Each structure stands twice: as structure tokens, then as C-alpha cells.
Structure 1
Amino acid sequence: MTSESIAAANGPGDAAPAAAAQDCVRLAVDLDVDICVVGAGLAGLTVALEAARTGANVVVLEGRHAGWNASGHHLGTVMPGYALPLSDLIARVGFDDACELWSLSQQGADYVRTHAAEHVIPGLGLTEGALEVSNVDAGDRLISRLQMLSEDFATEVEGWQIDRVRDTLRTGRYFHAVHYPRAFQIDGRKYVHGLAELARNAGARIFEETPVVSIDPFGIRKRIVTPQARLRASHLVLAGNIHLGEAMRRLSDTLVPVWRHAAVTAPLGSRLAEAVTFQGSVIDTDGIDHFRIVDGDRLMWASPETTWEAKSERHAGAICRRIRTIFPQLGTVEIAKVFSGAIGQTVHGMPQIGQLLPGLWVASGFGRQGLNTSAMAGQLIARSILEGEDRWRLFSPFELVWAGGATGRAAGYAIGMAERARSAAAGTLARYRERARIRARAREVRLAEANRQAGTRPPRSRTHHVPASAPASDRDG
């Protein structure tokens, strides 16, 4: 991420960047199109790009501007997988379908890498590698996870032992790690704007500041109403995530909105290199911290989450304290920028991808794995519409489930806090046990050294001393 993009990494309430504002076009006339996409985020723009490349007549409607929320406000990490743990995915759909779903997530990551090439979308600052670190000593589980990812799911991974992790991340908070050498990072804000430009160049029309007022999804031609115009479309793709609102309340109510707050520090100079030498993303296995180095000597760090919208600035102190907790040698860091984006989290942890009614499609609920899964969803839906591909049915077991409204938000936040507390307790216990083992080994070493020294001392003299008061015969004896 460049200094320019850091300056742009503000909250979703900010105005669109100058370049985007200049290109903003509102829908003002009625249209009849092949495909209407609601939402100009990562998923919606990918659908539009792929469909427009085949010559389809595509329109994208965006209530604000392209990438204004979570799609343009994230840490830019791209790696395979879903929010649902792999073991739970296998338990839910079976091993074969889990393999297919995992393969799709890898294809999504490959799609982003292809489009992040300098000659396609320039200036994304791609860096390689992601490290998934454990807060507890879980070496046995690490081995089985590595074997499953490598042998069963064809994913390039390697295990890092504790010494290597701590040599790279100078903190006692982490133990083992899984390294994904094919994962990578990009400037996410530039990427989503680059997708929009590619879609326009392919023939898609993107209308910003054009909110959808109502939708009639029934019938062969779908009807969409905006403040100034109406559309009819053969296919309607709902990619507005939690922001569909009243236009499609049944869908938006299946998502728990989660605001992920993040910050970029001021330059830390040489002291950062003394704490962190890994140049890729670092993600803990409990989903609490996610950070990476940007601009050579800054940290970009995401940690607090809320299920309600709040000003990002209010969380700067919490992020600062979290950095000091993990890397106390950095001291109190200065925060240069803060930003946040609202992701949609499903109850089951998997994205919502597929056909709800004939011609009505959904792509939402990507959680924290938005870059790879949104790219995959965009490809799947475009191919399904234009070529009749039906691999979206792999997501059918993960149907729309009501997220509980305001009660669901409160419960989600409470569960998240409980999980953080559990993780903190488990980490504290793991570090206590580690210190106890170190002390025990130190005692064993001292005892062994004492025994060794005792074994090499010269034997005591066994000369028989006769008391001076003994009889002369005894003394002369």
C-alpha cells in the first residue's frame, strides 16, 4: 500500500476519491438490459466484468460509489478458504464437496492474482506470503492440518516451528504457524477501482449514487426502481451485501453486519524491523489480529470488531494497545490513519452464492475472506447466467438463514467477546505452561550439572586420625 492509498484509507462515510467523483454517473433514463447488478463492490464488479467480456448488456447500480465500504477498506490479503473452518466444512457437506469448494476458493485467489498483474491493474504493490499463527502450542494439530491441506486439498503450505515463528515475529504470544507461500497482499482500494475501470472498458455501465428503491424479482423480466429511472433485466444479481436494505430486506436480514476496524501507524523506523521481519500478512488462528507491514516501516493492523456502526477514530486507542500487547518493544505507536468496513457474516459462516429464483442471483456474506470468495462468486454467477454452469449448487446446503435482527447483532457481539476472552485465557495458559516447562528444564540442567560436578570431585582422604590423648602404644602403633 502506498502513501497515497494510506491517505485514502478512511472510513466508509468519507467522500469518494476525486477521480471516482469526476467519473460518477447517475442513472437518469429507463433501461432494458440483459443483466443488472446491484452493488459495485468486489463481487458485483467481477460479475459485471466477466459478463461484459462476453458481450452481455450489463448495468451496475451503486447507491454511493464503487468500493465505498468493505470492498475498499480491508488489509488486502488474498488466500484460499472460507470463514467456516475446513473441518466443519467437511462435516457439513462431506469430503468430496469440501474439496470442490476449496478448489473454487483457490480459483478465486488465482483470479485476483491474474488481475493484480502490473499490466492489468497497475500499482497494487503485490507482496507474497501469509502466516497463520497459533496463540497456543498446537504442534500436533498443526501436523494433521498441514497433511490435510497439502495432500487432500492440493494447497502449498509449510509448517513453522516455534523458534522460526519467534525469530520472524519477536513476540512470545505466538507458537506454531502455517505458512501459505502462494498467498499474497495487494492494495485493496486500488484493486476495486481497477475492477470498475476494467468493467467499464469491457462495456459495462456503472451508475453511482443510484440507490435501488424497490425490486420486483418475479416474472421473466425483473423490475428495478431507482429514484430517477426504472430498469428491466433478464437477470438480477444482488451483490449489495448488508446494504440492500428495504429493497430486499429478506436477504439483508440473513447477514450479521460486522464492522472491522483497522489502522495504519506512523512510520516506525528501524524499531519495526527489530520486531517484525515477515513481509506478508499475519493472521492469528482465533481471528483476533490481522496485520502486515506497509510502506516499509508502518504497520497496518485490524483488530476490534463491532456489530454496530461506529466512528473508526474511537478505536484507534484499542488498536494501539493491541499492538503494544503483542509487540511491547514497539512501545506506544502513533496512529496515522484509521478506517473500517462492514462485512456481512452469515450464521453458517459460508458465503451466499447462487440462484434464489429463476433469473434472481445472490452474491454476499463473504465475511473476512472477501477477496478470494467474491472473485470466485463473480465468475460462478457470470458463467451460470451466460453458459448454464451449475457449480453454484455446491453452496446450496448453506441456505439463507435469518440472522436474528438486533438480537442477533447483540448475540453475535457477545459471542465474539466470549471467544476473545476464551482465546486470551487459552493463550495465557499456554504461555504459563511454556514458562513452567522452561523453569523445569532449567532445574533439571542445574541438578544434572550439580551431579556431574559431584561425580568429578577428588575422593575424601580416608587416613585414620589418632587422637593426641590416645596411649603411646596406640600412637606408635
Structure 2
Amino acid sequence: MNLLHANDRAGEYPPSYYAATRAAFGPLPPLQGAARADVCIVGGGYTGLSAALHLAQRGLKVIVLEAHRVGFGASGRNGGQVGSGQRLDQDALEAAVGLADAKKLWDFAEEAKDMVRGLIADHDMPVRFYPGIAHACWSDSEVRHAAAYAEKLRRDYGYDQLEPLSREGIGRLIPSGVFAGGEVDRGAGHVHPLNYAIGLAQAAGAAGAVIHEGSEVTGTQQGARPVVTTAQGHVTCDHLILACNGYLGGLEPQVAARVMPINNFIVATEPLGDRAKEVLAEPVAVADTKFVVNYWRLSEDGRLLFGGGESYGYRFPDIIKTVRKPMLEVYPALRDVKIDHAWGGTLAITMTRNPCFLRVAPNVLSASGYSGHGVAMATLAGRILAEAVSGQAERFDLMARLPTPRFPGGVALRWPMLVLAMTWYSMRDRLGL
């Protein structure tokens, strides 16, 4: 079964709060017949659209092939959080690549956040950046760890945007009474993710990139001039970029062995009106410390957008049932609130939670596997891919040095083995361990 078609209608955005409030864009015509490009990009999410924008700005002829609509995948369905740092803490990165490279990776992540804010402003995108992400801790030990990590970032990385919160402090921000403490990252933020993807597509098109929607890639042929085939045409190019993330399928086995698609889910309540103050005292986004992370924020029209739960098969489960349970664990007073929207999407993780940057061939590059930390990092990945295509590969090579081993059992057995591991950690969450 192909994840591109397992849960969604061909050529359409899945029903969601984001789709219901998206900016007008497209649809764009599919590829027809033969085409020639300096760079062909497979995938119209943040990575592919950012790469297209930055390559077109360098004067290259760029064609983007998107199977459905731009932002169709995780880029248009996620929680919208623009977080600080890499997916792993700096302690883990220092152990993996050394202090010097860990500091470069921190700087990359700071650049990535600045990119999101800057691109929105520079291209007058139909989306607003809201500052602030709170991290809500369930246990006292997690609160102590959060405070120690905030001090490390201040001392070693010069980052002073983290504000530790006591039980009383987190209670004022999140008036549910269930958290032991936490912190607020004033240097992070959140966006409407689909409108940000549409904004990237508009900017890339204005720079000269050609985007074809409804153009599912059926195969690639590597060589001095790679050929990318769809049902109705093909592109011959000098460089090929794979930006497919969780929807890669079997298109490139080297990437598929390291990047695993998993499903995540979000619900949107009815507008809460005055009850919105029972959810958040400030318009920040939140993520908690569960292994299967819960994350939430208020929409511009006062709805609670709450994400939680995962699945590891192709078909989505009962989404409202899956997400309502953790939502009510945080906000039991919202038991009577109606759910207006519920949707799922497929993201991609790696064994180490590091993003997977891979040079598949000398002129074939891939970036994916952001493990839930992709809004900012996928945007930066596009710039780094553009640099590498243009012969400036230092930053791509550093990202490619991050450990992203193959999943045990290869592509065929990675899914059942992941299910076993995730089930174990999910049980630990339920037991409060």
C-alpha cells in the first residue's frame, strides 16, 4: 500500500482545520511530456519548496514534482511549532559529534528559526509567526532537568530565551493543574503550517521555480543526467533532490532504510470563546514531556488545536478517540467541548532522531527524517541542499555526518520492530515512568 493514497483523496488536501483556513493557491498543472531542468525536486513540502526557492534565487532552472498539492504531507498537517535547537539536546549532540560541531548545529538551528521569521516577512506570506513555546513537565525530575538544561544553554551557547517555570508558574500559563513545572522558550514560536507551505510555494514560483502538482513520481534513473518519471511525463536534470520525508515509499532504498514513516494526529475543538483562558493564558504553543509527545496551542479563532497519539500502520485509527484521551488528561474540564476537525498525517523519524541528509549519488541528494522537529529545520535543509548543489557542501556534509543508522531488519522488518519499541515507551508513559 502506498502512503500517498492510503488515507487521502488524490490531488486534495485532507480535511483539517488548516485546510479549512488555508490561503488561496493553485491547483497547479501536472507535468505533461518531457521537460529539462538544472535541478528536479521530488516533494512539495518545506524541504523541497525551500530548496526550490533558494536554487531559483541562484539562477538555476528548477522543477518541483508534487504528487498531490504543495504542503500535502507533514508540512501542511503538523503542530506548527518552530522549535529551538535540533531534535536531540545539545548534550547528546556533543557526545555524538563533539563540542565544536555541536555548536555549529546549534547555530544552524538558530538560523533556521530566523529563516522562518525572515521568509514570512520578506515574501509577505499569508501567515503570522507567534512567539513562544512552553515545555510542560509531568514530574519534578523533569523540571530539574529542564532548569539545568536552560542553564547549560545560557552558559555554553549564549542562549538566554528560556524562562524556567515552577509548578505555580506553569499553572498560571496552563491553568489545568496537572504539570509539575516547565519552561517557556521565548525565542521559539509557531505558525499556521499549511499557509507557511503555501507561502514558500508562492515565493519559489515568484523566483522562477516551476511547480507541478498532481505529479506523482513513479521512478528515477540515476546517472550523469538523472531522469525522473511520472505517469504523464519525465524530467531530465543535472541534479536530483529527494524531499519526500514520510511519503518516500520505495523510491530510494538507501533513504528508506534509515527513515521510517509514522502517523500522528490532531483535533481542533469548536471555538472556545471566553473558555480559551482555561487552556492558555498566553498565545504560546506547548509540548509536554511524554515519550509520545502531546502538543497544543490556540488557533486565531480561539480553538484548541491538540495533537497526540501515534500509529505505525498504513491506515489511520479513530482519530477523535485517539487524541481526545490525552487532551482530557490535560484538560478534563473540556469534556463537553465539541470536536470540529480531526486529521492525521505521516511524518518521518530516524533511529537516532537526527535528520537524515544523504548523498545517494554524486548528483542525487536527500534530506528527511526530521522526527517531529521539521518546520524550521526542513526550511534550513532546503537552503543547505541549494548550497550543496551549487558546490558549497560543507554544511550538507556536517549534517550528513550525524548518525542515522539503518533500522534493524531493513525496510521489510523495520515497521514491526518499531511498533514493539514504541509500544514499550507508550506503556511507560501510561504508567508514569
With the length of structure 2 as denominator, give the TM-score of the two structures: 0.89
Which structure is higher in helix share?
1
Correspondence for 1:301:
306
* Contact 2:127 2:199 survives alignment (8 Å): no
2:297 to 273, 292, 300: 292
Which range moves more in the overlay, 209-218 or 247-256?
Answer: 247-256
Q: Does 1:422 align with 2:425?
A: no
**1:308 match: secondary structure:** coil
Correspondence for 2:209:
204
Question: How far 1:20 moved relative to its partner?
Answer: 7.1
Instruction: Pick the structure with greater CA Rg.
Output: 1
* Contact 1:43 1:375 survives alignment (8 Å): yes
**2:280 match: secondary structure:** coil
Question: How far 1:369 moved relative to its partner?
Answer: 0.4
* Contact 1:121 1:191 survives alignment (8 Å): no
**1:277 match: secondary structure:** coil
C-alpha distance in 1 between matches for 2:64 and 2:268: 32
Residue 275 to residue 25, structure 1, CA distance change in 2 (3 Å): closer
Q: Does 1:267 align with 2:293?
A: no
Correspondence for 1:177:
182
Q: What is the 5 A alignment of 1:395-414?
A: 395-398=399-402, 401-403=405-407, 404-405=410-411, 407-414=413-420
Runs of 5+ consecutive residues of structure 1 not aligned to the other structure: 1-10, 428-477
Q: What is the 5 A alignment of 1:100-249?
A: 100-117=104-121, 120-138=123-141, 139-155=143-159, 156-218=161-223, 220-249=224-253
* Contact 2:354 2:404 survives alignment (8 Å): no
Q: Which amino acid is 1:175 matched to?
A: A
**1:130 match: secondary structure:** strand
Question: How far 1:37 moved relative to its partner?
Answer: 0.6
Q: Which amino acid is 2:420 matched to?
A: A
Correspondence for 1:391:
395
* Contact 1:90 1:98 survives alignment (8 Å): yes
C-alpha distance in 2 between matches for 1:268 and 1:20: 26
C-alpha distance in 2 between matches for 1:291 and 1:274: 13
Correspondence for 1:474:
none
Residue 373 to residue 205, structure 1, CA distance change in 2 (3 Å): same
Deviations, residues 374-397 of structure 1 (Å, cap 9, x unaligned):
011111110122252411111233
Which range moves more in the overlay, 233-242 or 396-405?
Answer: 396-405
Deviations, residues 245-264 of structure 1 (Å, cap 9, x unaligned):
33323322322211111010
Q: Does 1:98 align with 2:102?
A: yes
* Contact 1:265 1:335 survives alignment (8 Å): yes
C-alpha distance in 1 between matches for 2:306 and 2:215: 33
Correspondence for 1:277:
281
C-alpha distance in 1 between matches for 2:75 and 2:180: 32
Question: How far 1:26 moved relative to its partner?
Answer: 1.3
Which range moves more in the overlay, 364-373 or 73-82?
Answer: 73-82
**1:116 match: secondary structure:** helix
1:322 to 326, 338, 343: 326
Q: Which amino acid is 1:207 matched to?
A: H
* Contact 2:27 2:213 survives alignment (8 Å): no
Q: Which amino acid is 2:418 matched to?
A: G
Q: Which amino acid is 1:208 matched to?
A: E
Percent identity at matched positions?
Answer: 24
Correspondence for 1:373:
377
Residue 364 to residue 150, structure 1, CA distance change in 2 (3 Å): same
C-alpha distance in 2 between matches for 1:260 and 1:46: 24
Runs of 5+ consecutive residues of structure 2 not aligned to the other structure: 1-6, 14-18
Deviations, residues 269-319 of structure 1 (Å, cap 9, x unaligned):
32331343131111012342100111353100000111123346x120232
Question: How far 1:197 moved relative to its partner?
Answer: 1.1
Deviations, residues 170-204 of structure 1 (Å, cap 9, x unaligned):
23321121211021111111110111111111100
Deviations, residues 1-39 of structure 1 (Å, cap 9, x unaligned):
xxxxxxxxxx75472479878532111121222111111
C-alpha distance in 1 between matches for 2:144 and 2:429: 18
With the length of structure 1 as denominator, give the TM-score of the two structures: 0.81
* Contact 2:42 2:242 survives alignment (8 Å): yes
**1:262 match: secondary structure:** strand
C-alpha distance in 1 between matches for 2:248 and 2:403: 18
* Contact 1:81 1:369 survives alignment (8 Å): no
Deviating runs (4+, > 6 A) in structure 1?
Answer: 17-21
Question: How far 1:68 moved relative to its partner?
Answer: 0.8
C-alpha distance in 2 between matches for 1:154 and 1:258: 35
C-alpha distance in 2 between matches for 1:413 and 1:184: 31
* Contact 2:247 2:346 survives alignment (8 Å): no
C-alpha distance in 1 between matches for 2:225 and 2:123: 35
C-alpha distance in 2 between matches for 1:424 and 1:75: 22
Correspondence for 2:4:
none
The number of equivalent residue pairs is 414
**1:213 match: secondary structure:** strand
Deviations, residues 344-397 of structure 1 (Å, cap 9, x unaligned):
111121111242321111111112001111011111110122252411111233
* Contact 1:12 1:68 survives alignment (8 Å): no
Question: How far 1:62 moved relative to its partner?
Answer: 1.3
C-alpha distance in 2 between matches for 1:217 and 1:190: 34
C-alpha distance in 1 between matches for 2:221 and 2:404: 19
Correspondence for 2:261:
257
Deviations, residues 216-237 of structure 1 (Å, cap 9, x unaligned):
223x222222222222211111
C-alpha distance in 2 between matches for 1:31 and 1:298: 45
C-alpha distance in 1 between matches for 2:278 and 2:88: 35
C-alpha distance in 2 between matches for 1:337 and 1:100: 40
